[in-house]
Amino acid sequence: MSFLQNKWSEHERQAQPARRYASQREFEADWIYSLRRRYRVSQESLAVMANVSVTTVQNWENPRSAKAIADHNQARLRDIERDLWIKAHVTLLDPSPPYIKALYDLMSASKDDSAQALADYLVATMPAEDAGRARLLHWASLSHSISQPGSPRARSLSEAALEALTGSDTRLSAAIENEILGSQFEDLLALPTGEARQRQGVSLMRACERLFERDQQPAYLWNALEVACRAPLDTQDTFRLTQKLIDVQGHAHVRHRITTETSFDNARIVFDDTQAAH
């Protein structure tokens, strides 16, 4: 079965898909367009990656195109999606222990089962007090998430990684923390609208709020609000976070960001409510 045929079959098995398609060709066109949008890749850039013409990419994204996408091009798209995912999620932060490099090599070589087996073994055997445990838990989450974004195993490992981070203000701890939050956010955006996306959003929003309570850094509240807007979560969450930000940074500053940055579009009505209350 070809790559996109397999994707189409997975979509057809969903009981309540986020979107329904009239044909497999329409699904393929939307999948390629969504891939570019998710990773902010132009048609020209995708054409270079796939070693095809821009016109070919345009035909791929045209649901009315009668020309089928060749199997070898579908294989390229599979590899491109994987490479883009790795670049968006994975950073080899120095100093990088050998087991982290081994996990990176396995994921880069599409050996997901081996990466997951190694990661799970290391998680089970590494002492809880080991300084490298937070990073290992994060990479274990990545090894599961790369083949199944938003899976319960990936999510639980990622949450454990955040909990394992110490409160020390070291550059490496901060970098690992930001990488964990960034990869969780990328996975959130990749999920279709529905319960799984909302569950991931609630988990990530709460993690950002816990970090704010720990460090009192407003950036974590802004991250939580963006998650609430992009998931999207309940209006009560956006209202509560907006009010927290106003208490911390003032009405004028929060109003400017929410009304000028597209990431917070879903908070504008809530902000109007808070403005009316003042």
Q: What are the sequence ranges of the domains in the chain?
A: 3-83, 90-190, 204-278
132 vs 111 pLDDT, higher one:
111
Q: Which DSSP letter does residue 262 get?
A: G
The first and second tokens of residue 120, run together, are 């799970």
Q: How far apart are CA 60 and CA 232, in angstroms?
A: 30
The helix (run of H) or strand (run of E) holding residue 2 is: none
pLDDT-wise least confident of 9-13, 180-184, 225-229, 245-249: 180-184
Is residue 114 within 8 A of residue 106, CB to CB? The reply is yes
Q: How far apart are CA 150 and CA 139, in angstroms?
A: 14
CA 260: distance to chain centroid? 24
Is residue 17 within 8 A of residue 11, CB to CB? The reply is yes
Query: For the structural domain made of 204-278, what CATH number should be given?
Result: 1.25.40
pLDDT at 214: 79
pLDDT at 32: 96
The top-level CATH class assigned to 3-83 is: mainly alpha
Could you give the residue ranges of the DSSP H alpha helices within the chain? 3-13, 24-39, 43-50, 54-60, 71-89, 98-108, 112-125, 133-145, 152-164, 171-190, 195-215, 218-230, 235-249, 251-260, 268-277
Q: Which DSSP letter does residue 93 get?
A: P
**Distance linking the first and last C-alpha atoms of the chain:** 60
**For range 139-165, the mean pLDDT:** 85
Three-state SS sequence of 165-203: CCCCCCHHHHHHHHHHHHHHHHHHHHCCCCHHHHHHHHH
Q: Residue 132 pLDDT > 80, yes or no?
A: yes
pLDDT at 94: 79
User: What pLDDT digit, counting tens, does each position of 115-131 carry?
Assistant: 999 999 999 999 988 88
3-83 and 204-278, same CATH topology? no
**For range 104-121, the mean pLDDT:** 95
Rounded to 5 degrees, what angle do the CA atoms 267, 158, 181 make? 40
